[in-house]
Amino acid sequence: MKTPLARTRLAALAVLTLLLAACSQDLGPEPAPGASPSETAGVQAAKGPAPAPFDTGQPVKIALVQNSGAGDYFQQWTNGARQQASALKIDMQVYDAQADNARQATDMQTAIGSGVKAIIVDHGQSDTMCPLINDALDAGIAVVIYDVEISACAPKAVETAQNDADLARLILGKMATDVGKGQPVGYVNVLGIAPLDRRHAVWEKAVAENGWDQRFFVGKFTNAVATDNAQLVDAALKATPGISAIFAPYDELTKGTVSAVRQNGREGEIKIYGVDISAADIEIMTAPGSPWVATATTDPNAIGAAVVRTTALELAKALTSREVVFPGTLVTQEFLLEKQIKNLAELRKAIPELNMTTVSTADWIPVVSF
């Protein structure tokens, strides 16, 4: 029998499958002509001879089987993956199901039969993807996962993810310092999605440890996450006076929360804490009077590149762990304003560790940095 939480998660997954917005075309987003410096990689040259299968001079074929969602996170992630693949002379076929779970399953079946040496699975539902991941592994294809919960059902695959618990601890530690204990707070999130579930677990601990009074919990995925969640938060704010802070641990949710707080004229009384960053997020955080005071983040371009490097290491039989976790960092509104940071290129210059150039690498891998 499914527990109420399990039913809630299944419902959330169903909503995600049916409604999450598409970000790209069928084969995934190509880097835009005349891309800005924040989107274009530099390459640190390899210093050693490449092992098999990268030593033949011929491109190594892999597939990226993606299930993209709303916002520019996926565009940046795929941009990083493409550029790292190009540096490694990898021929990467990109399939993007665009929030269609059945289509992702079909894409995975196509990729398995396409003669690739490896498949990267970026997001998706574990119930659907795990059997197909195991089919690929049984066919001798290396599989690397990003942000799909597969540890119990496909343990032979390589699992990669942001350190979501650490991201949540970073941002909630900042929130606790700023607002103190026993404060009335709001929460915007959706259960049933692996990274958001991991952040939710940390939120529950933070609420208990700080004695926060959670006055509302809203959130949903639609084809316009920020816009539709702005309406939910707007209704919650109208019904809930006295909120001191809101945690919205995905930047599209954070954007919607910012919009609702502004619409209600409560910028001066409510602080907002998010996860993830983009050029658009930086613009919102640094706008005059913005209530979005901090975010915990990785650089999605660097994450996409690191996942491709992880795949290369797996193909070269040089990966020593079945799990690779990417560290995050805290970015505050105060820091952005003090450093006059206006885009991701300037942020990376100020926080070089966002490039993650020492993660999942070897002397034979040319490493992209953004």
> What is the model's pLDDT at position 74?
85
Mean pLDDT score, 77-98: 96
DSSP annotation of 191 reads S
Query: E strands within 125-277?
Result: 142-146, 158-162, 184-188, 213-218, 245-248, 271-275
> What is the model's pLDDT at position 216?
98
CB of 363 closer than 8 Å to CB of 46: yes
| CATH architecture label of 164-297 | 3-Layer(aba) Sandwich (3.40)
| 270 contacts: CB under 8 Å, gap ≥ 6 | 186, 243, 244, 245, 246, 261, 291
- As a whole number of angstroms, the distance between CA 360 and CA 313 comes to 7
The more confident residue out of 16 and 195 is 195
Query: Which SS3 state, helix, strand or coil, does residue 275 take?
Result: strand
The identity of residue 204, as a single letter, is E
Give the model's confidence band at 24: pLDDT under 50 very low, under 70 low, under 90 confident, else very high.
Answer: very low
- As a whole number of angstroms, the distance between CA 191 and CA 29 comes to 28
The more confident residue out of 345 and 99 is 345
The identity of residue 269, as a single letter, is E
> 282-339: per-residue pLDDT in tens?
999 999 999 999 999 999 999 999 999 999 999 999 998 999 999 899 999 999 999 9
> 109-143: per-residue pLDDT in tens?
999 999 999 999 999 888 999 999 999 999 999 99
State which CATH number among 3.30.160.340, 3.40.605.10, 1.10.3720.10, 3.40.50.2300 fits the domain covering 4-161+300-327+355-369: 3.40.50.2300
> What is the model's pLDDT at position 221?
78
> What is the model's pLDDT at position 223?
65
Percent pLDDT > 90 in the chain is 76
- Whole-prediction pTM: 0.80
> What is the model's pLDDT at position 15?
37
Lowest mean pLDDT among 125-129, 156-160, 170-174: 125-129
> What is the model's pLDDT at position 40?
65
Q: How many C-beta atoms lie closer than 10 Å to residue 166's C-beta?
A: 17
CB of 162 closer than 8 Å to CB of 126: no
Q: Looking at the predicted structure, is the pLDDT value of residue 88 above 90?
A: yes
Give the model's confidence band at 38: pLDDT under 50 very low, under 70 low, under 90 confident, else very high.
Answer: very low
Tokens 């991201």 -> residue? 167
DSSP annotation of 181 reads S
- As a whole number of angstroms, the distance between CA 137 and CA 157 comes to 7
Residue ranges of domains in the chain: 4-161+300-327+355-369, 164-297
Percent pLDDT > 70 in the chain is 88
The phi, psi pair for 213, rounded to 5°, reads -100, 100
- As a whole number of angstroms, the distance between CA 318 and CA 309 comes to 11
The phi, psi pair for 160, rounded to 5°, reads -120, 150
Question: Would 4-161+300-327+355-369 and 164-297 be classified into the same CATH topology?
Answer: yes
Sign of CA dihedral 250, 252, 257, 258: positive
Q: Looking at the predicted structure, is the pLDDT value of residue 98 above 70?
A: yes
